[in-house]
């Protein structure tokens, strides 16, 4: 079993930056892909970014390309999401997730590929 704990959320003004962290514990040896998802008010959960353990191959949603950067520190079992150029449309609860297989592209941003989820951290961007 894998436990995921997010941190780093909060409030920021438009144009600001924020870094989210997700620490994995438990059966971390089984993780192959980690990802960040978000769910805004009255919206479906959507994939934001994903990264493969080992080669750091990453996938981004079009809405965040060039603004968000996903990275991982395998020694710390931690995945980060650096968010720059934030705008009110980025306001959401952000969740990290872990999958036992390698995914890239659309699959990497699909909720159904992930078996373990964190509780989420709120990000609020004001105009």
pLDDT digits (tens, 9 = 90+) for 23-78: 999 999 999 999 999 999 899 999 999 999 989 999 999 999 999 999 999 889 99
SS3 content of the chain, % helix, strand, coil (to 5): 15, 50, 35
The pLDDT mean for the chain works out to 96
CB contact at 8 A, 6 and 20: yes
How confident is the model over 78-95, as pLDDT tens digits?
A: 999 999 999 999 999 999
SS3 call for 60: strand
**96 pLDDT above the threshold of 90:** yes
Residue 123 sits at φ, ψ, to 5 deg, of -120, 125
pLDDT at 54: 83
- Tell me how crowded residue 1 is: count the other CB atoms within 10 A of its CB: 8
User: Within its chain, how far is the Cα of 59 from the centroid?
Assistant: 11
CA–CA separation, 100 and 116 (whole Å): 9
């Amino acid at each position: 079993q894998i436990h995921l704990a997010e941190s780093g959320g909060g409030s920021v003004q438009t144009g600001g930056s924020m870094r989210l962290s997700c620490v994995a514990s438990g059966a971390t040896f089984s993780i192959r892909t980690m990802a960040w998802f978000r769910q805004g008010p009255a919206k479906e959960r959507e994939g934001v970014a994903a990264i493969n353990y080992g080669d750091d191959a990453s996938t981004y949603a079009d809405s965040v390309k060039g603004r968000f950067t996903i990275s991982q520190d395998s020694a710390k079992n931690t995945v980060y999401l650096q968010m720059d150029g934030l705008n009110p449309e980025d306001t959401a609860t952000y969740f990290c997730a872990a999958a036992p297989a390698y995914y890239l592209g659309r699959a990497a941003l699909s909720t159904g590929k992930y078996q373990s989820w964190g509780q989420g951290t709120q990000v609020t961007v004001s105009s």
